Amino acid sequence: MKTTAFDVAATAVPNVFQRPIDRRKQADEAKAQFAHEQGDHLTLLNAYHAFKSNGEDKDWCFRNYLNHRSLKSADS
């Protein structure tokens, strides 16, 4: 599989997935919607594509337990 610029950038930023102690179950369920059977990089890529498809919306990130700043950093 070809390494993309996003893959490289994503490894250099803080965790995209957030998992608050008091909402771990909800955070795990949110992350599961992006899960890819071939691993974490593709799960991360799914989350990134969803982020872009949702207009890089901060509120959408909050509802889906994603770190908006990390996703924006990976994009630059």
Greatest Cα pair distance in the chain: 38
Distance CA 43, CA 30 (A): 12
- The residue written with tokens 């949702």 in the block is 54
Cite the DSSP H helix spans in 1-76: 5-11, 24-32, 40-53, 58-63, 68-75
Distance CA 4, CA 66 (A): 21
Q: Answer yes or no: pTM beyond 0.75.
A: yes
pLDDT tens readout for residues 19-62: 999 999 999 999 999 999 998 888 999 999 999 999 999 999 99
pLDDT at 2 over 50: no
pLDDT tens readout for residues 8-18: 455 556 789 99
Task: Name the DSSP class of 16.
Answer: S
pLDDT at 74: 77
pLDDT at 1 over 80: no
pLDDT at 32: 97
